[in-house]
Chains A and B, each alone.
Chain A
Amino acid sequence: MKNHSPCGIVRISRAPIPAQWKGGGWCLRATDSTMKNAVISWQEKLEAVAYVPTREICTVLRLAEALKKPVLVEGPPGAGKTSLARAAADVLGARLIRLQCYEGIDVARAIYEYNYGKQLLYLSALRDRVSQMLDGTKSMAESVRILDREVPFWGDEFLVRRPILEALASAGARVLLIDEVDRSDREFEALLLEVLSEWSISVPEYGTVRAGDDPPLVVLTSNRTRDLSDALRRRCLYIWLDLPDREREARIIQAQVPGAGAAFAAKVAEFIAEYRQLSPRHVPSVAETVELACALLATSGRQITSEDIESAIPVFAKNREDAGLCVSAAERVSRNAAS
């Protein structure tokens, strides 16, 4: 593959590029449009549930579906990472199982736990019955065998399924959202590795639980408050989800705010884009943009003036310093409109 010329310049001999890949643009032959169809199919389905995706989002979801791999979504807060999981669940008609990560989350909160209180209660209630049952036994091994058979204290009855085990063990379509995984400890990341690569969990008292041929769609989100380990990244498909540009944000507003026209949505999106450019301390999320659009639509109808925006400041400006920036952004938008 590689050789050095006498002057030291590296030459690389490449493998031949498949002829089908040469030339740009979409392939128009109906038989060759698998990817286009797959992406468009996901796009239409997501738009049907009021989520406006990018082409990358559609590709990743299709790949996750085909390769049965988890998806790691990184991006700034409020870019729509959690909504993506919710929308994917809606599209697939799946149950959304959500695990909110936090500092100190452990196996008992995320995967499984035994209901010790219930075990103790049962044991107290059944003490006499258990004694009677074991009366005739001749050895300890026999007693244990009978106990295991008759009173399965480590079976399903007493196992409390936390979100990850629930997602693996239950049947039907499901989407597991592991939200803000960067907030958890590094030790917890290690716990996830077996689940994400093998689709199984080993419970010492119970055995190994496998998802079988129908694993859930797993979406992990991260705000990058810390670096995730390479081991975790390797197991996932990766997508970076940034805050939307004006055009996409306008489409989101149209999709999510009933009664919002194209011009109105474009104006709100333009204002928010101008405001974000002023680097406020709290950068408004997509959800806040939608709330702003709702507020403006409710108070001022479809015509937006800078006074209307000022009155809606509490919806999206969450810092004292940011309130001043709102006025500047509104004035700038008005100036642009006038010019």
Chain B
Amino acid sequence: MPLLENDTLARSLSGLAWYARERGLMVSSAEVVEGVSACAALAPHNLGELQSVLTPCFVKSREDLDVFAGVFREYFYNVKTAPVTAVVNAELRSRCGAGEKKAEDAGQSEANRGGREDEPGWRPLLASKRDLPEPFRLYLQGDKHAAAARLVNDPLTDAGRKAIVAAFARMADQIGPADLATIRQTVGEYARLSNEVQKLRAQCAAPAPGAVHVQHADRHRWSQPAWFAADSAPSALLAARVDTLDKEQLALVIREAQRAAAAMKPFFARNPGTGRRRLALDYRRTMHASMATFGEPFWLLHTARHRRLRRLVTFCDVSGSVKKATGILLSFLFGLHQAFEGRARHFLFVSQVDEVTPFFSLPSYDECYRRIAGASGIDFRGYSNYGKALSTLWENHRSAFDYETVVLFLGDARSNRYDPRPDLIRTIQGTVRDAFFLNPEDPDKWGTADSAVRIYEKDIRMVDISRFGNLLRFLNRLPDMLLAR
């Protein structure tokens, strides 16, 4: 083909692929080769034809169709779909590249300057304060490795955070408005470094003597199908209202929830045990084995019944009013997470939604909880906005829901006068196999004031988990819900 002789076609398509990657559309080299082959086969002679030839090769899902059309248009016709966005992005990039220089241009006083030319003036001043945590001082001095090394034995604590805030407050008169962005960035990066160090430390550290290691606490065989945990937990605890638990009771309840999870874990595991009642006749193995004896004797061989787990999605409100109940549920699910073999996804929200599933692979629940509280992008101090959270969940994580999914919503359904979007609950309920709304609020208060319980309960089953016993009773039903028989 003439177009291929001087490799113009290949270079143009490589450029298009590179441009597409820049725009977030992942085009592999194999797909570029495929595109070149497609062009060779069909010989497009104008850009419209070229686009229709390349689309099946470069686009692999419906969401990417529009993206690719935009990329193609921009690359070959040089038409920007959103010039304003492009300018803003370029501006942001230039700020990131030369953020400190911009601060200088903004007319910041020379008194704040010091050290290197591009270094903000508050840095050396702050680093000279003796009451700051040592790792943070090292970090400000630019020695990040030393800071990380010190963080191993001297982690960032609440007292350390307070000291940092106090130090900033003391030098408030020396900080200009233009410094705020860099301060926020520096402190954020330091917090991330601290989190990463703590994560590594937790991975390396041996479990403390006597500590309950939830992921390996699967020694008890699942012997009773229901009410196991509910019967064995202290009765006072079972009757206790979740929202009135004090710190000690909450720790006890979380331990009970973890115990329940540990007891249930083997039930979800792949190997269901060797008891004959769980076995089924395996026709293929029986025939195969009988060939060795010419069918006499004809041994019947059994195999474990194939058990499949459905997928589980949890969507939990973590605003102040329900965070105790959420903590209990998450501790239970943490114990079971590995048994789901990657078939569970967890989302938390207040007004923003964030997926926290990766944290469930951490070695201990405490670590998981700390990472959730510290690292996820959730506005813990905000007001819960069910409508916005549901809409984000549905738009961004639609693939989490299918006919094999069981969804657990947890929250008090207090809408804070925002639109509760019952249509989304209805849509999700219609898409998935089963969905439950676990409500830790006292049932007497359901439907009062800004509660959306009466709206939601038309479309989804409300489950009262205001008492720990109720929650355990519901959790005992999980195996029935999640095992596809």
Q: Is the CB of B47 within 8 A of A21?
A: yes
A318 to B288, CA, bound (A): 48
Q: Would B46 and A56 count as touching, CB distance under 8 A?
A: no
Residues B308 and A119 in contact, CB atoms below 8 Å apart: no
**Does A63 contact B8, Cβ atoms closer than 8 Å?**
no
Q: Are A35 and B43 in contact (CB under 8 A)?
A: yes
Q: Which of A145-179 contact B (CB under 8 A)?
A: 153
Selecting from A120-128, A211-219, A258-266, A294-302, the interface stretch reads: A120-128
List which B1-60 residues lie within 8 A (CB) of chain A: 3, 8-9, 11-12, 14-15, 18-19, 28, 30-31, 34, 37-38, 41-50, 52-53, 55-57, 59-60
Given A10-B90, A16-B8, A24-B47, are A124 and B34 also a contact pair (CB < 8 Å)?
no
Cβ–Cβ < 8 Å partners of B42 in chain A = 34-35, 38, 59, 62-63, 66
A188 to chain B, nearest CB (A): 12
B116 to chain A, nearest CB (A): 21
Among A4, A17, A74, A239, chain B packs the most CB atoms within 10 A around the CB of A17
Distance in angstroms from A33 CB to nearest chain B CB is: 8
CB <8 Å contact, B50 and A238? no
Measured between alpha carbons, how far is A27 from B291 in the docked complex, in Å?
68
B19 near A63 with CB under 8 A, answer no
- Shortest beta-carbon distance, A283 to chain B, in Å? 14
Question: A117–B402 Cα gap in the complex (Å)?
Answer: 38
With A15-B8, A119-B287 known as contacts, the answer to whether A21 contacts B46 (CB < 8 A) is: yes
CB distance from A282 to the nearest CB of B (A): 12
Interface string of A24-35 (1 = CB under 8 A from B): 111100001111
Known: A15-B8, A16-B8, A17-B76. A67 touches B41 (CB 8 A): yes
Chain B hits for A120, CB < 8 A: 287, 290-291, 295
Interface residues of A in 32-67 (CB under 8 A from B): 32-36, 38, 55-56, 59-60, 62-63, 66-67
Contact segment of A80-88, A224-232, A248-256, A326-334: A224-232
Cα A197 to Cα B94 in complex, Å, equals 44
Task: Tell me if B12 and A10 are in contact (CB < 8 A).
Answer: no
- Whether, in the assembled complex, A277 has its beta carbon less than 8 Å from a beta carbon of chain B, the answer is no
A8/B93 in contact, CB under 8 A: yes
Q: Does A136 contact B (CB under 8 A)?
A: no
Asked whether B50 lies within 8 Å of A225 as measured between CB atoms, the reply is: no
Contacts known (A27-B46, A234-B30); A116 close to B288, Cβ less than 8 A = yes
Q: How many residues of A contact B (CB 8 A)?
A: 63
In this assembly, does A20 line the interface, its C-beta being within 8 Å of a C-beta of chain B? Answer: yes
Min distance, Cβ B25 to any Cβ of chain A, angstroms: 13
Interface membership of chain B positions 406-433, coded 1 if the CB is closer than 8 angstroms to chain A and 0 otherwise: 0000000000000000000000000000
Whether, in the assembled complex, B299 has its beta carbon less than 8 Å from a beta carbon of chain A, the answer is no
Quick one: given A63-B57, A237-B57, A240-B65, are A117 and B12 in contact (CB under 8 Å)? no
Identify the closest chain B residue to A6 (Cβ).
Answer: B94
Q: Is A93 in the interface zone, CB < 8 Å from B? A: no
B280 to chain A, nearest CB (A): 14
Q: Report whether B98 and A63 are in contact in the complex, using a CB–CB cutoff of 8 Å.
A: no
CB closest residue in chain A, given B298 = A120
- Nearest CB of chain B from residue A17's CB, rounded to whole Å: 6
A18-B12, A35-B43 given; A230·B60 CB < 8 A = yes
Mark each residue of chain B from 451 to 480: 1 if its CB lies under 8 Å from any CB of chain A, else 0. 000000000000000000000000000000
Q: How many Å from the CB of A113 to the closest CB on chain B?
A: 8
Contact A7 B60 (CB under 8 A): no
**CB-based nearest A residue for B76:** A17
Least CB separation from B31: chain A residue:
A234
- Bound state CA distance, A14 and B48, in angstroms? 19
With a cutoff of 8 Å between Cβ atoms, the chain B residues found around residue A56 in the complex are 52, 55-56
B223 interfacial by beta-carbon distance below 8 Å? no
> Which partner residue on chain B sits nearest A14 by CB separation?
B15
* Bound Cα distance from A26 to B30, whole angstroms: 29
Given A21-B50, A24-B46: A124 touches B38 (CB 8 Å cut-off): no
Q: List 7 A-B contacts (CB under 8 A).
A: A8-B98, A22-B46, A27-B45, A34-B43, A63-B53, A116-B284, A124-B294
Other than A35-B45, A123-B294, give 6 A-B pairs with Cβ distance below 8 A.
A8-B93, A12-B19, A16-B11, A22-B46, A124-B294, A127-B294
Top-8 shortest CB links A-B: A8-B94, A116-B287, A66-B41, A233-B60, A15-B11, A34-B43, A227-B399, A237-B56
